Each structure stands twice: as structure tokens, then as C-alpha cells.
Amino acid sequence: MSESKTVFTTCTRDCPDACGIKAFVTGDRLVGLTGAGEHEITRSFLCRKALNYIQRVYSPDRVLKPKVKIEGNWQEVSWDGVLNLIAEKIHKTIEIYGSTSILHYQGAGSLGALKMLNKRFFNLLGGATEADGSLCGGAGIAGQTLDFGFRTAHDPRDLLNSQLIILWGRNPSDTNMHLIPILKEARANKAKVVLIDPITTDTSRFCDLQIKPNPGMDGYLALAMAKVILDAGKADMGFVENCCENFDAYHNVVDGVNLESLSSMSGVSISDIEMLADLYAGRKPVAIVCGWGLQRYQWGAETFRLIDALAAVTGNIGIPGGGVSHGRDEYYYFDKSVKGREFAKNTRKIPRPLLGRSIKELNDPPIKMAFVNGANPLNQSPDTHSVKEAFEMIDFVVVFEQFMTDTAEAADVVLPVTTFLEETDIVGSYWHNHIGLVNPTIRPLGLAKTDLEIYQGLAELLGIGGGMAGSADYWIKQIIKPLKRMGITLEALMQKPMRVPDAPMVPFADRVFKTPSGKFNFITNFSIPIIDSVDYPLVLLSTHSRRWLHSQVLPVEHDLPPRAKVNPATAVAYGISDGGKANIVSPMGDIAVVIDHDGGVRENVVQIEQGRWGKFGQSINHLMPSTMSHEGKNACYYQTTVRLEKT
Ligand SMILES: Nc1nc2c(c(=O)[nH]1)N[C@H]1C(S)=C(S)[C@@H](COP(=O)(O)OP(=O)(O)OC[C@H]3O[C@@H](n4cnc5c(=O)[nH]c(N)nc54)[C@H](O)[C@@H]3O)O[C@H]1N2
Ligand SMILES: Nc1nc2c(c(=O)[nH]1)N[C@H]1C(S)=C(S)[C@@H](COP(=O)(O)OP(=O)(O)OC[C@H]3O[C@@H](n4cnc5c(=O)[nH]c(N)nc54)[C@H](O)[C@@H]3O)O[C@H]1N2
Ligand SMILES: [Mo]
């Protein structure tokens, strides 16, 4: 009989929860995963996408051997052969065009800290062109950085001190499941939970009340609530006067708008605005927990700033149970110098949301080679058509992948990489304060290697091997050096995941901020246009799926057409029955879907899950224009306007 064992590891996938996992292994085969009881946040249970992950590891569609495209056909090759081929191409490309003619595009495939070393390779080469900005939370981060000088969050368990919790444009039931038990506990402590989302989501079940604003217009809702509170004399003027700057200019903005127009722009009735304002001012401390959905607009930073201002007006900052929490930098406590910036003579940055357009425009030097790891830009970028065209213009594209994604299909070489269940690494979280080790649960399948092993192999061939050398454990020890004084070492982490002892439960408790003045900085002007288009009157919210992460959908999950949810009144106006077929049409393109009538969806909204693949005709991102947020270089997916056409 094969031997059975249990291996402790940590999930590296791009999700706030960064769960502790117990993997059950029989022989060398994974047979089950469960949440680790010793992880205070995971609390013994896992989400759907983690439970499904074993199917991904053993999928017959996994890429398990290096492949080279020869005259349009994929041929399997040896590691030695493929690494020599790539090294030679790198050598020649740098000789003729310089190292910045190489694009390195790293995405969110794994949040493991060792993935920082992928960047080290390109710095050792002399510096490449990199994608800057974000497809994710860049706008919210930029907004909070302007207000607080530093974007961070309350510890998740500080919510147990709140009287009221507002979930603002966040859907934890699907995207951050381990927040749900904390919400339940908080409600058992008599806290109220309010959800602000244009769609009834599964999260609604855990809330006392939901408000459905117009998509993108939450800034006006926050402003309206602040106006009611200020006009009623319920503001915390002690906090405002002692700890804030630019209040007068902000107050002028508040005085310059009337409640009727704020109500019409936000799509929330005056009575609901007043009810929310009374709740907010009356139940201190109040925690606002913002999501990513809220800020996928050009003015995402301004929306966050208007929400921060609401919290500041009521003094809900720097106190237990208060704050405006979005997330934190998962690499904050790690030593980022392993990226080896000092080795790069030249680097060049292009904005991630404008990837296709930027590659096409680059000259001096143009992009000649591209390396993609942990990302699927031909599927996840806005305006994927232009990204595809841009990649076709690049002489040699190398993709490190587990699957033949839309991006892998467009490559010249695909290199098979391990999943996190086959790797050693270390990971922090962008929500909680725990750090966990990633331990291999099984041997790598097929010929798969880790990103680090592949870059180390290439470095050897290019004469820069010394700069990349070292085992995974060696590099982990370098990365966690700053944590040693707090007792967090590799040895200690082998016992269990650890909370960073220095991480505050309540940030800014001294009410000193990281802004130049040390004060909270009120927003004083902004531009938030009404999303309005005669030909495309609906807003397309392409939200995150409970079942999968981004584009990590298995090929077999594409057998049925995608479904979109629309309010019955809207669907009927387009003549589309429940379960009827339609095209969603944007100024950029269209996609065939089945329409589900859903009374929970606001009337001017179409909701669809993002992530399905273009090669099966199901990708949504060719409908998205490539716009970028005013602050934070963020992609603005949720601002896309569409119409429906019955088919
Ligand atoms: N299962 C699963 N988990 C994930 C992910 C995944 O793909 N799958 N992705 C991970 C990543 S990278 C991220 S960034 C997070 C995202 O986590 P979330 O922010 O929770 O996810 P989203 O689906 O982008 O948006 C959340 C909600 O915002 C609402 N929303 C959209 N526009 C607006 C608006 O203008 N105002 C308001 N008030 N609400 C709005 C949407 O209707 C949606 O229900 O999830 C992480 N967790
Ligand atoms: N329409 C729409 N589009 C969106 C969003 C949205 O809300 N709506 N959300 C956006 C958000 S929040 C984000 S964060 C981005 C994410 O965009 P991406 O970062 O491109 O995310 P994924 O689609 O998960 O692609 C990651 C790829 O890495 C591979 N991978 C996993 N682990 C590893 C590894 O260790 N090494 C290597 N080499 N590969 C690995 C996976 O197989 C997968 O194909 O998408 C954005 N796209
Ligand atoms: Mo994200």
C-alpha cells in the first residue's frame, strides 16, 4: 500500500486570503486539500477555487514539456535545447538592440515572494522593459496614498470592534471568503453590516441592508453622506481640526453641491442617503471595507478619496473598529532588494492597462523579445485585440505556463512551470497579517520546473549564473531577513504560519499620517463624469468568479456559452427572454451569451464573470477599451458601456 502523508503549505494564488492548506498525499499523488486549522484566518476551510485546484494540477491539458512553435505547429523539445535557443536569442537581441528591447511581463499567477527573483534575472541582463501600473487595485492604492501618505488596512479581526461595517464594492462571499466568518461574529456582537453594490451578490445574504448605487458613482454617494452629516452638525470637528489638512477646500466642495443632484448622480434616493448618513454618524466606530470592484474606473482613486473623506469627517480613522480598509502590500515585510535593481543600467516602463498600444508605439528600441510569466495578458488586459496584434509584432515570445492559454498560444516557446503545490516559496497576504511557507506537496509533474529554476538555467548559459544562484531556502532566508528581529525565521515558519508581530491592529492609531504634513489630506477637487452613452446605455460589470481565479478556467469548463445577468425589465425591453440568447455589444466588439433574468441586478447593468478564454470565443476583455485611471495607472474594466442584441 502507498504511504500517506499530510503536508502543510500556503496558497500563493492572487487572493486576499493567502490560506494555510493541509494537503493529503498518497504515494506521490495529491488526494485532498483542506484548510489548516492552525491558521487563525483560514480556520480549517477552503474556498471553491482552492478545493478545485487538484483538478487543475492533474488536468490532462497541463503543459508538461517545453514546446517550440515551428511553422505554426507546436513541437516538444528538451530543456537543454530550448534553454540554449532562448539564451542565444537573448544574447543576439541585446547585442543589436540593447536589453530594453526585451519586455518582461509578470502578472499575478503566484504571489510567492520568490517570484521577485524573476525580475532579478532581467536586472542582471542590464534592465528590461517592464509593465508598470495595475490591472487590479492601483487606483484605490493611489487614492489612499494621497490621503494617508501610505495605503494600509486594519487587521481583519479589528472588525470585531465595529458597530457598523460597510462593505463597499466588494464581494467577499466569492472573492475573500474568510471575511465571512468574521462578519458573522461581528453581527453576533450586534454590529450591523451594509453592502453597497449595484448587484445582489451572495455576500448580500450576510448583510442587514443593501444599497444599489449607479456603477462608478459612489463618490457622489460618499459626498452626499458627508454633506448630511456636516449639515446636521454631527461631524467630529476635533479630529478634523487637529489631524487633517485641506478641510476648508473640501467643505467648499460639499457646500457647492445639493442633495438632489447627488442623489440623481449616485442613483440613491435622498431618503436612503439620509438613512445611511444617520447610521454612519450614529454607530461609531464604523469600518468601511472597500473592494476592487469599486475602483475599476478612471476616477477610482477619487472615489476612494471621497470615501476616506467621509471617514475623516466623522473621526472614524485611527480608532479600533474604524477606518477605510482596502488592503495592504503583501511584500511589505519582505526584503525587496533581491530584485537587484542596482544591476540594471537601463529600465523602461510601459503602462499595464495600455499594453497593446504601448508595445506598438515603442521605438528606440522597439520590443524584439517578450517574456511572460504568471500572467495571461492576451486574455486579461483590456483591449485584448491590440495586445494580440502587438505580440504578433514581437520577434520572439517566451511564455512560462501551466496551460495553453490565449497568451501561450501566441508564443514562440512555452515552458512548463510547476503549480504552487509542487514548489517551495513564502507568501504574505494583501488582507491579513500572516506569513506562511509554501512547501512542495508532490514532485513536479512531467518536466515542469519553477520559474526560479528556469531563470537560473538561463542565467548560467548567459554568464550571469552567479547573480541568480542559490536554493529556494537560501533566497527565502534573504527575503525574510527584516523579520528576524521579530522572531520570524525559516525554522519558526516551518512549525506554523505566523502573524507579523509588528503589524498594527489599527493603523494610524497615533493619528499621525505619512503625508508630508503628517495630517490626513482631504480631497479638494475631482472629475467624475456620468457614465452615459445613447448607443450603449448599459454598464458591463465583468466581475470575479467564485469558481476560478481570473483566467484560470480549465478548457473543459468552456463547453457551455457564458451567461450574463440582466434585470428582467431591461431584458424584456430588448425582447430577450429568460435563458434567451443575445450578443453583448460594446464599441470595441461583441460576445455571444445566454441571458439570465435576475431581479437583483440594477436596471442599467449587465453582469458577467470575467476570465473565460478567447480561443473558445468566450473572452470578455476584447470588449474593454484600454483606458487608464487618472491616478494609479489602473485598468478601468467596469466603465465599459454596452447594449444587448437579441440573437
Ligand atoms: N474566487 C475568486 N476570488 C478572487 C479572485 C477571483 O478571480 N476569483 N480575484 C482576486 C483578485 S485579484 C481581486 S482584485 C479580488 C477582487 O475582489 P472584489 O472587489 O470583491 O471583486 P469584484 O468582482 O471586482 O467586485 C466586487 C463587487 O463590486 C461591485 N461593483 C462594481 N462596480 C461597482 C461600483 O461602481 N460601486 C460599487 N459600490 N460596487 C461596484 C460588483 O458588482 C461586485 O459584486 O478578488 C480576489 N479573489
Ligand atoms: N474584465 C475583467 N478583467 C480583469 C479583471 C476584472 O475584474 N474584469 N480583473 C483584473 C485583475 S483584478 C487582475 S489581478 C488581473 C489578473 O491578470 P493575470 O495576472 O494575467 O492573471 P491570470 O489570468 O490568473 O493569469 C496568470 C497565469 O499565470 C499562470 N501561473 C500560475 N502560477 C504560475 C507560476 O508560478 N509561474 C508561472 N510562470 N505562471 C503561473 C496561470 O496558469 C495563469 O495562466 O486580471 C484583471 N482582468
Ligand atoms: Mo486583482
Q: Which residues pair with 628 in a beta bridge?
A: 635
Mean pLDDT confidence for 306-319: 98
**Closest-lying ligand to the alpha carbon of 421?**
2
pLDDT digits (tens, 9 = 90+) for 99-119: 999 999 999 999 999 999 999
Question: How do the domains of the chain map onto residue ranges?
Answer: 4-57, 67-125+333-431+442-499, 153-326, 538-646
Distance 602 CA to ligand 2 centre (A): 28
Pairwise CA distance, residues 289 & 267, whole Å:
21
State the fold for domain 67-125+333-431+442-499.
Answer: Rossmann fold (3.40.50)
Hey, which of 175, 550, 610 would you mutate to test ligand 1's pocket, going by the most ligand atoms within 8 Å of its Cβ? 175
Pairing of strands 324-325, 286-290: parallel
| Ligand 1 touching residue 496 (CB < 6 A) | no
Among 622, 617, 565, which Cα is nearest to 594's?
565
Mean pLDDT confidence for 153-178: 98
Residues with CB under 6 A from ligand 2: 14, 107-110, 135-136, 292, 373-377, 380, 400-403, 405, 417, 451, 542, 544, 549-552, 610, 620-621, 624, 637
Inform me whether the pLDDT recorded for 425 exceeds 90: yes
| Ligand 1 touching residue 621 (CB < 6 A) | no
| CATH fit for domain 153-326, picks 3.50.50.60, 3.40.228.10, 3.40.50.150, 3.20.20.80 | 3.40.228.10
State the fold for domain 4-57.
Answer: Phosphorylase Kinase; domain 1 (3.30.200)
pLDDT digits (tens, 9 = 90+) for 564-605: 999 999 999 999 999 999 999 999 999 999 999 999 999 999
pLDDT digits (tens, 9 = 90+) for 515-564: 999 999 999 999 999 998 999 999 999 999 999 999 999 999 999 999 99
Residue 569 has a pLDDT of 98
Task: Pick the atom of ligand 2 nearest to 408's CA.
Answer: 44
The residue whose C-alpha atom lies closest to atom 44 belonging to ligand 1 is: 171
Which residue's C-alpha cell is 447610521? Answer: 279
| Ligand 1 touching residue 171 (CB < 6 A) | yes
Inform me whether the pLDDT recorded for 357 exceeds 90: yes
Residue 191 has a pLDDT of 98
Among 603, 184, 197, 107, which Cα is nearest to 401's?
107
Residue 1 has a pLDDT of 65
Pairwise CA distance, residues 10 & 23, whole Å:
10
pLDDT digits (tens, 9 = 90+) for 36-52: 999 999 999 999 999 99
Distance 15 CA to ligand 1 centre (A): 11
Residue 235 has a pLDDT of 98
| Ligand 1 touching residue 546 (CB < 6 A) | yes
Residue 532 has a pLDDT of 86
Task: Pick the atom of ligand 1 nearest to 201's CA.
Answer: 44
Cis amide bond preceding 501, omega within 30: no
From the number of C-beta atoms within 10 Å of its C-beta (0-12, 13-18, 19+), residue 638 rates as buried
The residue whose C-alpha atom lies closest to atom 8 belonging to ligand 2 is: 542
Inform me whether the pLDDT recorded for 302 exceeds 70: yes
Distance 295 CA to ligand 1 centre (A): 9
Distance 647 CA to ligand 2 centre (A): 31
**Closest-lying ligand to the alpha carbon of 169?**
1
Residue 492 has a pLDDT of 95
Distance 106 CA to ligand 2 centre (A): 10
pLDDT digits (tens, 9 = 90+) for 604-622: 999 999 999 999 999 999 9
| Ligand 1 touching residue 170 (CB < 6 A) | yes
**Closest-lying ligand to the alpha carbon of 639?**
1
3 state DSSP class of 366: coil
**Closest-lying ligand to the alpha carbon of 416?**
2
Q: Is the dihedral of CA 175, 181, 182, 187 positive or negative?
A: positive
Residue 567 has a pLDDT of 98
Check if 153-326 and 538-646 are the same fold.
no
For residues 36-59, b (16+ Cβ closer than 10 Å) or e, as one string?
beebbbbeebbbebbebbbebbee
| Ligand 1 touching residue 198 (CB < 6 A) | yes
Hey, which of 49, 105, 118, 135 would you mutate to test ligand 2's pocket, going by the most ligand atoms within 8 Å of its Cβ? 135
Hey, which of 14, 380, 609 would you mutate to test ligand 2's pocket, going by the most ligand atoms within 8 Å of its Cβ? 380
pLDDT digits (tens, 9 = 90+) for 52-102: 999 999 999 999 999 999 999 999 999 999 999 999 999 999 999 999 999
pLDDT digits (tens, 9 = 90+) for 468-499: 999 999 999 999 999 999 999 999 999 999 99
Mean pLDDT confidence for 179-185: 98
Hey, which of 194, 197, 210 would you mutate to test ligand 1's pocket, going by the most ligand atoms within 8 Å of its Cβ? 197
Inform me whether the pLDDT recorded for 632 exceeds 80: yes
pLDDT digits (tens, 9 = 90+) for 455-464: 999 999 999 9
CATH code for the domain defined by 538-646: 2.40.40.20
Pairwise CA distance, residues 362 & 132, whole Å:
15
Distance 28 CA to ligand 1 centre (A): 36
Grade residue 314 by pLDDT with cuts at 50, 70 and 90. Answer: very high
Mean pLDDT confidence for 380-407: 98
Distance 550 CA to ligand 2 centre (A): 5
CB atoms within 10 A of CB 460: 15
The model carries a pTM of 0.98
Hey, which of 402, 425, 541 would you mutate to test ligand 2's pocket, going by the most ligand atoms within 8 Å of its Cβ? 402
Per cent of the chain over pLDDT 70 is: 100
Among 602, 600, 622, 603, which Cα is nearest to 613's?
622
